[in-house]
Structure 1
Amino acid sequence: MDNPISKEDEDVSRLQLGPDFEGKEMLSISDVGLILQNQVPKYDPSQLTDVFNKTLEYTQRFSRLKNKATMQEANMLLKDTELHPFEQAQIKNLCPENVEEAQGLIPSLAGRDADMLLEVLENLSKLRKYH
């Protein structure tokens, strides 16, 4: 890895997420929930640990994208943007209502094109309403 970021240099506002996140896929809460839901049928219920069950329950409670089709459409929508994968995951987690809220919750969005962000947020909102 070239020029790895040390723990001291981490700064989410500049998308310097640290060595634990370099080259890793960024998952939203909804993504994790879908992965866990797909694992449930593969095991006897008695084999599922408390941690697994609590994590699945958490994802079901806090997922903003409630079904696989909506998640796939959101992923396609975000894939075609200039947004960093971390920003994409956070937008799916938080579903901010407007550009100002998005930039306040996700500091790295502060320098992003407001029109592009508005379009993304509006399209994501439509997906959530109609699915």
Structure 2
Amino acid sequence: MATPRLHRRTQGEEEDASVLRLGPGMGIRSYQMNNSLTKDEHKEFNNAGCLLISEVKYLLENRDKDAPDTAYVCTISLDVPGIRCISIYLTVWSWNTNSVYNKTLEYVKQFAKFTTTDSASAVRETLRREPQLTQFETAQIANLCPADAEESKSIIPSLVKVDDDRLQALLDEIQTMRKFQS
């Protein structure tokens, strides 16, 4: 099996998280290095939305209930406000014995911040109302649930554009939703 060639970064590829330029490892190029699909076949992912870990947990758990031990290509869809409908295409071979699936499910169960789809949707809708936030920032805030504006700006540098008081109000609202989720 051929290994991917390393390439030197040019001046124009410098990473800068404060403007969401996250480097070559965060895009389609890194995925292509390990897969046989061409760049044209990946175009549908260029403008793909970001899912919350809680939403991924819901998708995986429901897929597991629908067909626990079958082998076929399946589509899982979740209607997320602002992103229309998200479809995930999976090729499933002995679904319950797939180690990648099991590790992914274990991960999302451990790190999901919201226990119900209603609470995850409410958080997404709350953050979506803030026009300055990108989908990436929305997902990061919901996945990490920082306690205050200072913490959120230190872990998500691109949030410097958002006023501290407005950001703190959003974070407080999310913490309240998290506390009272059923």
TM-score when normalising by structure 1: 0.85
- Matches for 1:91-130 after TM superposition, within 5 Å: 91-130=141-180
State the structure with bigger RCO (CA 8 A, min sep 6), 1 or 2: 1
Does 2:126 correspond to 1:77?
yes
User: Whole-Å Cα distance in 2 between the matches of residues 93 and 72 of structure 1?
Assistant: 13
User: Whole-Å Cα distance in 1 between the matches of residues 173 and 50 of structure 2?
Assistant: 21
The equivalent of 1:25 in structure 2 is 49
User: Whole-Å Cα distance in 2 between the matches of residues 22 and 104 of structure 1?
Assistant: 27
Does 2:99 correspond to 1:50?
yes
Structure richer in helix, relative to its length: 1
Structure richer in strand, relative to its length: 2
Does 2:61 correspond to 1:61?
no
Name stretches of at least 5 consecutive residues in structure 1 with no aligned partner. 1-6
What SS does the corresponding residue of 1:35 show, helix, strand or coil? Answer: helix
User: Whole-Å Cα distance in 2 between the matches of residues 22 and 99 of structure 1?
Assistant: 30
- Aligned residue type for 1:68: T
User: Whole-Å Cα distance in 1 between the matches of residues 110 and 118 of structure 2?
Assistant: 18
> Sequence identity of aligned pairs in percent?
37
Q: CA deviation at 1:12?
A: 2.4
The equivalent of 2:35 in structure 1 is none
The equivalent of 1:4 in structure 2 is none
Q: CA deviation at 1:62?
A: 0.7
Contact 2:60 2:105 in 1 (8 A): yes
User: Whole-Å Cα distance in 2 between the matches of residues 44 and 14 of structure 1?
Assistant: 42
What SS does the corresponding residue of 2:140 show, helix, strand or coil? Answer: helix
Are residues 88 and 111 of structure 1, via their aligned partners in 2, closer, same or farther at CA, if it must alter by over 3 Å?
same
Structure 1 stretch displaced more, 115-124 or 9-18: 9-18
Q: CA deviation at 1:47?
A: 2.7
Aligned length: 126
Name stretches of at least 5 consecutive residues in structure 2 with no aligned partner. 1-11, 29-44, 70-93
Are residues 32 and 108 of structure 1, via their aligned partners in 2, closer, same or farther at CA, if it must alter by over 3 Å?
same
Select which of 8, 24, 35 maps to 2:13: 8
Q: CA deviation at 1:17?
A: 4.1
